[in-house]
Chains A and B, each alone.
Chain A
C-alpha cells in the first residue's frame, strides 16, 4: 500500500482509497430491517393471540378442529394473514427505502457522468450509499415470494423506470438508472448495469441504459453503461454490449461484443426458418398478423429433428486441432470448466443434520430464555413489541452456532486429511477428491446462509472464518467464490455474477491450485477465474472474460477476452474524464462526445479536463 501511494505521489496523480460510509449503511439497514418487521409482527401477534390461540390451538381434538365452524375459519384464514403480513413487510421496506433514497437524491442527485474513484467526494459517497440502499429491497423482492413485484419496486423507489408487461428475471444488475420499455423480457443472470468500476483508482462510469419497447434479452447479456437499445431489438443469449453502444433496433444482435447479424446466421443459430423470421419482424401484435404468423409457423416448421443425421454431420466437421490422441497438446488444460461437484450423496446429510439440529436447539434455548424472562417480569407487551429484535437475534444465534459447528467439523475433517493443491483423480474412492467434496459441501452450508443474510458483508466474515486471507474492504457478495485456496488483498472488487474457482473438474481429474488477487484488483462481472490465476496489483479483468489455468496477470494492466490478454495499461486516473467514445453498432461508427465529470464543484480542479492538461487525452481514445 505504501509503495503504491509513493508511486502515486511521484506521478502527481491522486490515488486515495474509497472510504465506505459504513456508519450510514448500518444505520440505514437496521432502520429498514427492524421497522419493516414492526407492523407485520404486531398484526400477526394480535391475530395469533386473539384468533389462532383460542380457536385453533385450544381445540383439544383433531376431529373438532375440522368440524367446529370457528376453528376451521380461523385455521383457513391463518395462511392468508401470514401472506398479508409478508406483503405489508415488502411494502414497508419499499417505503423506507424510498424515503432514504429521496434523501440521498437531495444530497447529490444521480446524473450521468464519470465519477472519479480516486478522489474522495460527496458524489462518490452518495453513489455508494445508493448502491447499498437498493440492494436489500431488491434482494427481498427478487428472491422473495412474489418476484413479479420487482417492477413495482423499481417504479416506486424511482431507481428505474419499468414499462408495462416487462419481465425481469433473477439477476444481479439492473437495479438503478435503467429504463425498460413496454413488453420487454430481460433474461436470467443478465447484467444490465448502469455503473461500471474502471479500476480501483479509476472511474465509475455512471450512465443511463435506455431500452425501447419490445426488447428481449435471452440471458447472460452484459450491458454496459450508456447503452441505448432501439425498439424490437433481440439480443441472443450471451450478447454483450460495451459502453455507449447504440443499437438502432428492429434487428437481432449476437456475440461479445455484440454485433448485428444477418438472417442466414439467425437461421443457423436458432434453426428457425427464414420465412418465419421475416414474418416475425413484420409482426404487429394485432389479430390479423397473429393469424398470418401462426400460419407461416405451422407451414414451415416442425420441431422434430433427427439426432443421428446431425451427429453424422457434426462428426464429419473438422475440429481445430487434428485428432491425434497422443498429441501432447491434447493434455494441456487450455480451457476452463467448472468447480461444481458432480453429485451429492445422502451421506452429506450426516453433516447437515447434526449442524442444523444442534444450532436449532441452541437457538431455541435462547428464545426460550427470552420468553421466560418476559413472563417472569410480566412484560408480555414489551416482548411482542420487541419481537422483531428477538426474531433477528434468534436468527443470528442460529447462524452463529451453524458457523461454529461447521468450523469444528471442518477442523476435524482437515485433521483426517489435509487439503492440498495438485491434480487428483475425480473418481469415487480417491481420498483427495472425496474430502474436497466434503469440504465444499460443508462450507456451502454456511456460505448459503451468509448469502441469504440481509447484510452483504457477512460473506467476508464467513470466508475469513474458513481461513481465507482477506480484508473486510474487499467486496465479493454477488459472486460464486470457492472458499479455499484463495488469497485476496486489500480492496479487491469481485464483480456481480463472477465465478472464482480454485478447483476445477476436467473430465476425470480434479485440479486444485491457489488463486491470488493482489491489492486493488478488479474482477469484472460475469467473468470466470480459473485455478492458479495470479492477478497483479491494480489490474482490471474485463467483463465476460476468462483466465486460463495458471495464468499470470501483470500488475497495472487491463485484461480482456477469452482467454484474457493485455488490452491497455490501467491509466484511468491519468486520463481525461470528460470524453466518451460512443459507438453505433448498426453502422459501425465511433464518435467522441464530451460530458460533464460528475464530482463536487470544489473538486473539479483536481480532475483533468479540456482546460487543463490534454497530454494524456489522446492515449485514452
Chain B
C-alpha cells in the first residue's frame, strides 16, 4: 500500500475550498486543451487510431494535469507566503490565530496536487511534490510507505521510511498546534509503524526501530539503535560494518528480551538509573507500581 505525502485535512473555513476548486479547474483545463490537440490530430484521419491510442494519451494528459496542478499550487503557496511566512513555534488551534489559519490554507492548497500525484501508479510524481513544496530531499528517496509531511522536513541521502510510519512536522496537541522542523541525516532508517514528531533530529546511521516514537526536540545520536515509546538508546548500530552475514543472529529467549524492553518502555531510564546503579528498585515510578497492581 502506498501512502506518500501527507497534509493535514483540517478545513477551518469552508471558503478555503476555493483554492482547491481553483486548482482542479485550472489544471483540468490544460488536460482538455491537450485532448483537443489529440482529437484534431487523429479523429479525422484514423478513427481507429484515435480510440486505440486514447488510453496511452490519457496517461500523458494525466501527467500534464498533475504537473500543472503542482505548478499552480506552488504559485499560490508563494503568494500566501507573501501574506504570512510559515514559521515554527506553538500556535493556538483557534481560528483567531493567524498561523493556524495559514497552516490550514497551505494544507488545502496542497491537497489536490498531492491527491493527483498519489493516484498515479508511478511514484516519481510524489517525489516531485515533496521537492516543490519545500522538503529537502533527494529525488531517489523512497518516501511512499509512510505518511510524510510536506513542509519543514529535511532528509539526507539513503533514508528509509518504514511502512505505515508517520513523519510529522506539525502536531495537534489539545488546543495547541506545534510546528517544528524534522531533520534526518544520511542513512537514517525509520521502522514500520514509527512516529517521528516535530523537532526530531536524527543523526547519521541511526535506526529507529518499529513501533517506536520520538519526543519533541529529541536528538538521536549517530550510530545507535533507538527503541521505545518514547525512544531510548538501545544499543550501538553495528550493522553498518562489513562482513557480518555470519554473525547476525536471532533471539531465542523472547521473555528475557521482553524484560529488557520493559525496562526501556516502562521505567524512566535516565539520571535516576545512572545514579542508583547498585539499587535497581529505586527506579520504581508510579507507572511500574501501577503495572504491578494490575
Enumerate chain A interface residues (CB-CB to B < 8 A).
52, 56-57, 59-60, 62, 65, 75-76, 78-80, 82-83, 145-148, 167-170, 185, 187-189, 214, 216, 218-220, 232, 234, 236-238, 252, 255-256, 259, 268-272, 276, 280-281, 283, 285, 287, 290, 293-294, 297, 301-303, 305, 307, 310-311, 314-315, 317-321, 323, 325, 328-345, 349, 352, 356-357, 360-361, 363-365, 367-368, 371-372, 394, 398, 423-425, 444-445, 447-449, 451-452, 479-480, 497, 499, 501, 505-509, 511, 526, 528, 532, 544, 546, 548-551, 561-565, 588
In the assembled complex, the CB of A369 is this many whole angstroms from the nearest CB of chain B, namely: 9
Whether A588 touches B293, Cβ cut-off 8 Å, given contacts A218-B172, A294-B92, A549-B250, is: yes
**Interface residue SS majority, chain A:** mixed
Q: How far is the CA of A314 from the CA of B271 in the complex (A)?
A: 11
B236 touches A79 (CB 8 A): no
Query: Which of A167, A219, A220, A333 makes the CB contact (< 8 A) with B10?
Result: A167
Q: Is B76 an interface position by the 8 A CB rule?
A: no
A79 touches B33 (CB 8 A): no
In the assembled complex, the CB of A231 is this many whole angstroms from the nearest CB of chain B, namely: 11
Q: Name which of B77-85, B128-136, B220-228 contacts chain A.
A: B220-228
In the assembled complex, the CB of A581 is this many whole angstroms from the nearest CB of chain B, namely: 12
Whether A311 touches B211, Cβ cut-off 8 Å, given contacts A169-B9, A480-B163, A528-B193, is: no
Chain B residues contacting A551 (CB-CB under 8 Å) are: 250, 254
Q: How far is the CA of A547 from the CA of B124 in the complex (A)?
A: 33
In the assembled complex, the CB of A51 is this many whole angstroms from the nearest CB of chain B, namely: 12
Flag B115-147 by CB within 8 Å of A: 1 or 0 each. Answer: 100010111100100000000001011100111
A361 touches B56 (CB 8 A): yes
A79 touches B221 (CB 8 A): no
Q: How far is the CA of A191 from the CA of B133 in the complex (A)?
A: 29
Chain A residues contacting B263 (CB-CB under 8 Å) are: 320
Whether A83 touches B90, Cβ cut-off 8 Å, given contacts A305-B217, A338-B165, A508-B240, is: no
B254 touches A563 (CB 8 A): yes
B249 touches A331 (CB 8 A): yes
| B interface residues, how many (CB within 8 angstroms) | 137
Q: How far is the CA of A56 from the CA of B40 in the complex (A)?
A: 10
| Given A57-B36, A544-B211, 17 extra CB contacts under 8 A | A57-B40, A57-B43, A83-B28, A170-B9, A220-B195, A252-B174, A255-B229, A270-B171, A290-B94, A311-B203, A320-B269, A321-B235, A332-B248, A334-B250, A337-B207, A480-B1, A548-B250
Query: Which of B3, B178, B215, B258 makes the CB contact (< 8 A) with A561?
Result: B258
In the assembled complex, the CB of B205 is this many whole angstroms from the nearest CB of chain A, namely: 7
B175 touches A311 (CB 8 A): no
Q: How far is the CA of A302 from the CA of B199 in the complex (A)?
A: 12
Find the A residue at minimum CB distance from B229: A238
A188 touches B6 (CB 8 A): yes
In the assembled complex, the CB of B51 is this many whole angstroms from the nearest CB of chain A, namely: 3
Q: Is B284 an interface position by the 8 A CB rule?
A: no
Q: Which of A214, A363, A368, A424 has the most CB of B within 10 A?
A: A368
- A-B residue pairs in contact (CB < 8 Å), sample of 6: A75-B33, A320-B269, A329-B235, A526-B193, A528-B191, A550-B250
Chain B residues contacting A57 (CB-CB under 8 Å) are: 36, 39-40, 43
Chain B residues contacting A294 (CB-CB under 8 Å) are: 92, 97
Flag B172-209 by CB within 8 Å of A: 1 or 0 each. Answer: 11111010100000000111110101010101010101
List which B43-63 residues lie within 8 A (CB) of chain A. 43, 48, 51-56, 58-59
Chain B residues contacting A80 (CB-CB under 8 Å) are: 25
A189 touches B210 (CB 8 A): no
Whether A232 touches B174, Cβ cut-off 8 Å, given contacts A78-B29, A480-B164, is: yes
Q: Is B273 an interface position by the 8 A CB rule?
A: yes
B248 touches A83 (CB 8 A): no
Find the A residue at minimum CB distance from B194: A338
B232 touches A320 (CB 8 A): yes
In the assembled complex, the CB of B9 is this many whole angstroms from the nearest CB of chain A, namely: 5
A338 touches B145 (CB 8 A): yes
Q: How far is the CA of A66 from the CA of B40 in the complex (A)?
A: 15
Chain A residues contacting B164 (CB-CB under 8 Å) are: 189, 480, 497, 499, 526
Chain A residues contacting B146 (CB-CB under 8 Å) are: 340
Chain A residues contacting B89 (CB-CB under 8 Å) are: 297, 301-303
B250 touches A332 (CB 8 A): yes
Q: How far is the CA of A350 from the CA of B255 in the complex (A)?
A: 48
Whether A268 touches B115, Cβ cut-off 8 Å, given contacts A294-B92, A340-B142, is: no
Q: Which of B9, B218, B245 has the most CB of A within 10 A?
A: B9
